[in-house]
Chains A and B, each alone.
Chain A
């Protein structure tokens, strides 16, 4: 019987190269069992190739694994011994080298072992999906498609989904659903054209940058200064991206365009500049060979200088007059000014914008279903904040089209191909009703696939507006609001308005007020931030101000407020769900810890980082850990609370921040039954589902913790033993010692007898007293001041 639901019991990844191993790692991150295949090694351990790849996953940065423990969920296999194991897999992703003959030989070999109905997909970035499908055994063809991940697959949200002529459409929908919700990726449906969407535009954009670099005589470091965050693109900008990707890989992708796009109006630019080919020839391939366009010399970053054919210090900056133009907020004014300026840097920026606009306008019809797909592909696959069509439309569609036309006519553009006629017939490509599809000549609405309904606030392109919500109550720093839907009537959302969602007195007041209102008028409350981190913690500036006044009584009241807010979250009469993504630090982490259930995106970086500014968690963080450790010890065979306190103490003393939500669970910063969400866009949906499920399950707040046995004096001494050794060994400073000891005192419930039983309020008083004592020390004050000035911790 065919199931109406698509269940991925297990995934197989064929090929344990850089991409294959990382895709397998990401499946493991998502709790999807995965079998990673490669060739049986000719010598030694037949699993040697895969084992080496798994070993590599532990060392790779940024980490492909959400925690090293995830490795255990990747099964090791080789083609000689384990093909039968493909029978358990509902999705098979092929990620071997980009050779048509190798791929087709492999397909023939694995086809007899595949489960009926399993999806078979290739992670090719350059080969034609139709050509691959043509070489597929007949039984496989309708279940075959392209699924193109971007490197590093854990962090790059884009996956391009490419059907062949024979791919079953329902299967694509199933795969897209899996990719979005289960793996947390953002999908663009691409056409089977060379390099698909993102690389087609992205690589052209790099080639255009290279062309104009040479034409205007700019340095590579100068171009990277111009094409990074200054224009809303990643820090690695143009040339460092090339180094990271690998100069040889880049050439390979360019070669695909050279070979397969002979009639393209920009074909003459589809070749590597001579200097780049020369580098690759010499084996200078970028990051993996420790030298490329850039090279690190100790701490100094050097850049290749074409004039001298040698490396020099990379120190180029954006010229002040160009920086002034970039500071202009109105894109229409900015683009006009760049175009008008004679400064080579401005000319460069205008040129790369213009030629990419030209390129995407001409190619929209043949490379993408709609302008939205190109904009999203560049945002999700290349980390651009704004896609090329959005930039164009934002600056005034017809205005810019006119400039383009002038430049084309004047022979300033890289190609003289005219803009397509539709460009002049429209006021833009993005409208509320949809985005322009040049191939169909219509506005294409967003995908109606149900999975996308789980994103209550999906990423928008210019011209789209977010779903309506209304404010229930607000103050200067928080907003209590709700969506106008059935769930919204029951579970409102609390969001912080402060920068980086920092927590100051008005956030504390507002949170308690929101809880009171939720208890009065609703069934649940979700704390969720529409953008940015969950919270970077207490607002140091506000603490700094009170500190300057030396008013420790007032500080004590603020901390008490903090603690009582955490307690209000924990013991509210309705479930208060913390919906976490990105950073939840310090006080933000303490709110999460007090939430009866947290729902966290995989990319959550959670930690009690107070030690960095010479403080300890005092919003109930130490208290909460003291209780949890006491409870865990009671349930353990030896009843020894120190087994549980030791690792927690280290987490606090070293200000450890989790590398993912799963890692946070291992650290105890998230509870084992907190929920991990793979797609951050689904966070609010999942949080509301949890909130309402709890409410509907006749949920009650936790009973007040009483009779908590503490580790006391003996516990403090045992932790202090570690500190003494580190201090005497010169591994920590005297003030580090003092801060860590304060954390030990708070975690152990104060200098009282071991096993003495205390209340929750007792523990709060102990941590608050330790916090205030630290605050009085000049070293902690210096740390706070330094952090406010530089954003970096001071070691003193």
Chain B
């Protein structure tokens, strides 16, 4: 086997539509969502020997309960992949899905295998709280001021970013509203159609009048998050959630959501043998740490590192998917790095489209790959901040 560094090509990228927490995927398990997108990407390319898949790397931010038990392995088996295909779940909170794609790509690039899948799945509906089934923090976090920010909720860190980077309530609200407008326009124009794999949700619910089981089917294919009824007035009325005199509201924060996505990667050799059409080349991935109390600023450190690894300049990037954990941090990142707002989230972001934590990285990668397929971008970057103070960025280039 060739052990030289070689290119890893994206040959397929698919995602589910993103449901609101408690929405269309209320009765759909995260392992089923994962199986659905895994099947989707392998069926999107010409038939190949599935035993060649060297690993299925799946990002998940709360890998427990319904998405525990190494959800990657469960999902791939449910997807009908051969038992010979291994699977691993990785967790880097909100960057998990992107990290999974990078891990899968690196396996191909280093010649460990010719085919690999990077994916992400997350059901925030399945988790009783944002922090999973059981939150237990180390008491040492409170013993000194140094570690206390480990205990900070994400919303509080967004308040700290808003203060430190002087992001006003008005700017946050305007940014959030724009996210909804862009997302609604994108949906209306069918710009997510290529990347979304419709999911037929089949529910078995009791009909208490007739005492029979009522089976209902619904095809879910459109992101649920964007709101038609949002307006500057409605945004302005919302109260700050995380601080008494704060600026971060439910309206200018990302939504809690359910969803999954997968990206199929191949070596040049595999592309030639299988006849798959390469869409993009995986160029680089970088992570960096920042103070936990301003975790939202993470991309400021990660983006330059990823660019450097790819040998690129910021201006070389045509399309940036910057996860909108909070409008406050997204604006702080854009302003600090001088990102071109026109290139950032042209189809809307997590404030409108939702943020199923560990799946988001893979979902937004699918958005960029689809844009490249349509010829709308030559280069693209997925980037996000990460709880407890990190940033991640990954760069793709159209073939």
Contacts and interface: CB of A to CB of B under 8 A. Distances in A.
A729 B148 CA distance: 14
B132 to A, nearest CB: 12
Given A724-B152, A725-B151, A729-B159, A717 B137 contact: yes
B156 A728 contact: yes
Interface string A694-728: 00000000000000000001101110110011001
A729 B133 contact: no
A717 B134 contact: no
Given A640-B134, A724-B151, A728-B152, A714 B139 contact: yes
B142 A714 contact: no
Contacts of B238: none
A529 to B, nearest CB: 40
B131 to A, nearest CB: 9
Interface of A: 638, 640, 642, 713-714, 716-718, 720-721, 724-725, 728-731, 751
B244 interface: yes
B135 A718 contact: yes
A729 B162 CA distance: 13
Nearest to A640: B134
A464 B92 CA distance: 77
A731 B244 CA distance: 5
B44 interface: no
A729 B242 contact: yes
B313 interface: no
Interface of B: 133-139, 141-142, 148, 151-153, 156, 159, 242-246
Contacts of A642: 134-136
Contacts of B138: 714, 717
B139 A716 contact: yes
Given A729-B244, A730-B243, A731-B243, A720 B134 contact: no
Nearest to B142: A720
Contacts of A717: 136-139, 141-142
Contacts of A721: 135, 137, 141, 151
A292 B258 CA distance: 51
A729 B153 CA distance: 10
B342 to A, nearest CB: 34
Given A642-B136, A714-B136, A730-B243, 19 more contacts: A638-B134, A640-B134, A714-B137, A717-B136, A717-B138, A717-B139, A717-B142, A720-B137, A720-B142, A720-B151, A721-B137, A721-B141, A724-B142, A725-B153, A729-B156, A729-B242, A730-B244, A731-B244, A751-B139
Contacts of A751: 139
Contacts of B242: 725, 729
A729 B243 contact: yes
B173 to A, nearest CB: 19
Nearest to B160: A728
Interface centre among A725, A728, A730 (most CB of B within 10 A): A728
B152 A725 contact: yes
Contacts of A640: 134
A735 B141 CA distance: 20
22 contacts: A638-B133, A638-B134, A640-B134, A642-B135, A713-B139, A717-B137, A717-B141, A718-B136, A720-B139, A721-B137, A721-B141, A721-B151, A724-B142, A724-B151, A724-B152, A725-B151, A725-B153, A725-B156, A728-B156, A729-B246, A730-B245, A751-B139
Contacts of B151: 720-721, 724-725
A730 B248 CA distance: 13
Nearest to B246: A729
A647 to B, nearest CB: 13
Nearest to B129: A646
B156 to A, nearest CB: 5
A728 B244 CA distance: 9
Contacts of B244: 729-731
Nearest to A721: B151
A724 B159 contact: no
Contacts of B152: 724-725, 728
B148 A724 contact: yes
Nearest to A715: B136
Nearest to B242: A729
A718 B156 contact: no
B87 to A, nearest CB: 26
A716 B243 CA distance: 22
Contacts of A713: 139
Nearest to A731: B244
B111 to A, nearest CB: 44
A640 B136 CA distance: 11
A720 B137 CA distance: 9
A238 to B, nearest CB: 38
A332 B148 CA distance: 70
A716 B242 CA distance: 21
Contacts of A724: 142, 148, 151-152
Contact of B137 (A718, A729, A731): A718
Closest 10 CB pairs of A and B: A729-B243, A730-B244, A717-B139, A721-B151, A713-B139, A724-B151, A725-B153, A717-B137, A731-B244, A721-B137
A751 to B, nearest CB: 8
A471 B245 CA distance: 58
Nearest to B135: A718
B210 to A, nearest CB: 16
A717 B151 CA distance: 9
B150 to A, nearest CB: 9
B278 to A, nearest CB: 47
A721 B139 CA distance: 9
Nearest to A729: B243
A716 B137 CA distance: 9
Contacts of B137: 714, 717-718, 720-721
Nearest to A720: B142
Contacts of A729: 156, 159, 242-244, 246
Nearest to B143: A717
Contacts of A720: 137, 139, 142, 151
Contacts of B156: 725, 728-729
Contacts of B243: 728-731
Nearest to A724: B151
A728 B245 CA distance: 11
Nearest to A713: B139
Contacts of A714: 136-139
B151 to A, nearest CB: 4
Contacts of B136: 642, 714, 717-718
Contacts of B148: 724
Contacts of A718: 135-137
A362 to B, nearest CB: 58
B245 to A, nearest CB: 6
A588 B375 CA distance: 73
Contacts of B246: 729-730
A731 B243 CA distance: 6
A511 to B, nearest CB: 39
A736 to B, nearest CB: 12
B40 to A, nearest CB: 34
Contacts of B245: 730
B257 to A, nearest CB: 23
Nearest to A646: B135
A751 B137 CA distance: 14
B243 to A, nearest CB: 4
A640 B129 CA distance: 15
A436 B245 CA distance: 65
A31 to B, nearest CB: 21
Interface centre among B133, B139, B152 (most CB of A within 10 A): B139
Interface centre among A724, A729, A731 (most CB of B within 10 A): A729
A642 B151 CA distance: 17
A431 B142 CA distance: 71
A356 to B, nearest CB: 49
Contacts of A730: 243-246
A642 B133 CA distance: 11
Contacts of A638: 133-134
Interface centre among A640, A713, A721, A730 (most CB of B within 10 A): A721
